[in-house]
Structure 1
Amino acid sequence: MRHAPLVAGAAAAVLVAAGAITYAVAGDEGADRTPAAGSADAGFARDMAVHHQQAVEMSYIVRDRTEDEEVRRLAYDIAQTQANQRGMLLGWLDLWELPKVSAEAPMTWMGMGDTAAGKDGALMPGMATNTELEKLGTLSGKRAEVLYLQLMTDHHRGGVHMAEGCVARCTVGVEKRLARGMVEAQRSELDLMADMLEARGAGPRR
């Protein structure tokens, strides 16, 4: 089954809520090697953890700004999924005894470095600015729904780009599988969000 390795990796990886970390992926490709601090494996884990945290934040903001069950359900699913994946990524850094913060610019592992960061707090591709997050927190109803869907569309596009980078560059099998799962899931959610925006008389920002 295509998703079985991902599920096994997730189950064996991190129990964040309990503060416990386990890692038992017998025979997994690259599992017996500790990636270097400057590797794609470590860089992806650090950067995607930050990227995911903003998605969780945006999802909780819109949850309190709308009564629309479809948007609230999507926001809940994104928040739960990305919080869990973030815990797995940070757990692997702990197991590898690598720092969660690097002196290198975000996306250096993808050869982008300083060119990846935007302005006003947008550290990586697709990330919302501080101003956009503040605006989301002031809106309600349909306006909040549309802005959230637009921001999350940009966010997912950036996330897919990063996950594809890990699929191409990472060496630890369980992490590559997680990245592949991210690509598939976020592409599916991009299609869903496009439909939801259209239903609200709007579309992606670009």
Structure 2
Amino acid sequence: MTSEADLDTEEVPEQPTWSRWVIIGGALLAVLLIGGAAGMFLTRAVDDPGSTATPARGSVEVGFAQDMSTHHLQAVTMAGIARDRTTDPQIKQLAFDIERTQLEQVGRMKGWLMLWDQPEQAIGAPMGWMTEPMQGHGGMSAPSSVNPSGGALMPGMATDKELSKLRSLSGREFDVYFLQLMLRHHEGGTSMAQYAAAHSSLPALKALVNSILISQGAEMDQIKLMLSGRGAQPLPA
């Protein structure tokens, strides 16, 4: 017979690692779905009631929603790699925050595209909605990446070669390179968001842009401090 003392000292089996990640993955999927519902609601509720026009293909609104969704999803991919690979609690928390925030924002933008009857991804090269030179902070050109295979990349996005390098690293080298790539990625996304806000009158888009600028601005400040604390610098412009 098992005594109460035996029950008190009996060890509770530790939850398997895979189970914890399944729970986290489910939570992130829920965030994406909630974001999509929020995107549809905000488009209906916040849009100018005096305007019946729906953003058309090639417009700033449609192009931004398509390209920024793709841009965000790469950040989510890099954050997922970091969350699984790093042993640094600060990096893990930053990665989780990026996944959660950007998946919710992607959900909003995909909700808009569905309401506007537009494809989730742009047809042809990205950034076609930007008809004027894009400027970054302080009037400097926004940071960009060059795809070795010749395809165009959006500002700040990592190339396939850079992502392969990230996956090959470990320890401090991994942490530093992740922070460097994510800082450049956020800088590029910030410039895209600023351009969209300056060239669109859609209240829902302006509200999202404000959210992006606040969240990514705080994360960029944090990343710079984390790089400095690890004796590293941002990637060359």
Q: TM-score of the superposition, structure 1-length normalised?
A: 0.84
Asked whether the 8 Å contact 1:66–1:141 carries over to 2, the reply is yes
Residues 71/18 of structure 1: CA separation in 2 closer, same or farther (3 Å cut): closer
| Cα 1:99–1:117 shift into 2, 3 Å | farther
Aligned counterpart for 2:146 among listed residues 118, 122, 130: 118
What residue is the counterpart of 1:46 in the other structure?
Answer: 66
- Equivalent position of 2:24 in the other structure: none
Deviation of 1:101 (Å):
2.5
After superposition, the C-alpha distances for 1:125-175 in whole angstroms (9 at most, x for unaligned) are 000010111111111111111000000010000000000011111232111
Determine whether 1:145 maps to 2:175. Answer: yes
Question: Could you tell me how far 1:84 is from its partner in structure 2?
Answer: 1.0
Aligned pair partner of 1:26 in 18, 39, 45: 45
Q: Looking at both structures, which has the greater relative contact order when contacts are Cα pairs under 8 Å and sequence separation is at least 6?
A: 1
- By how many angstroms is 1:112 displaced? 6.4
1:84 corresponds to 2:104: yes
3-state secondary structure, aligned to 1:64: helix
Out of 33, 53, 57, the residue aligned to residue 17 of structure 1 is 33
Secondary structure, aligned partner of 2:153:
coil
Q: Verify the 8 A CA contact 1:46 1:100 in the aligned structure 2.
A: yes
Question: Could you tell which deviates more after superposition, 15-24 or 146-155?
Answer: 15-24
Distance of 1:16 and 1:70 partners within structure 2: 24
Determine if the alignment matches structure 1 residue 72 to structure 2 residue 88. no
Aligned 8 A contact 1:122 1:129 in 2: no
Structure 1 residue 103 displacement after superposition = 2.5
Structure 1, unmatched stretches of 5+, are 1-13
Number of residues of Structure 1 aligned to a counterpart in Structure 2: 191
Take 1:82 and 1:27, find their aligned partners in 2: how far apart are those partners? 21
- TM-score, scaled to structure 2: 0.73
**Contact 2:36–2:108 at 8 Å: present in 1 too?**
no
Q: Distance in 1 between matches of 2:232 and 2:175?
A: 10
Gaps of 5+ in 2: 1-29, 134-143
Q: Distance in 1 between matches of 2:163 and 2:103?
A: 18
- CA separation of 1:27/1:85 partners in 2, compared to 1, >3 Å: closer, same or farther? closer
CA contact (8 A) 2:85 2:170 kept: yes
- Cα deviation per residue 1:178-200 (whole Å; 9 max; x = unaligned)? 01221122122111100000110
The 1:185/1:143 distance shift into structure 2, 3 A limit, reads same
Aligned to 1:187: 217
In structure 2, do the counterparts of structure 1 residues 163 and 57 end up closer, same or farther at CA, with 3 Å as the change threshold?
same
Question: Cα distance 1:131–1:112, how it changes in 2: closer, same or farther (>3 A)?
Answer: farther
Partner SS, residue 110 of structure 1: coil
What is the identity percentage for the equivalent residue pairs of Structure 1 and Structure 2? Answer: 43
Q: How does 1:192-203 map to 2 (within 5 A)?
A: 192-203=222-233
Q: Over aligned residue pairs, what C-alpha RMSD do you find?
A: 2.4
Task: Tell me what 2:27 maps to.
Answer: none
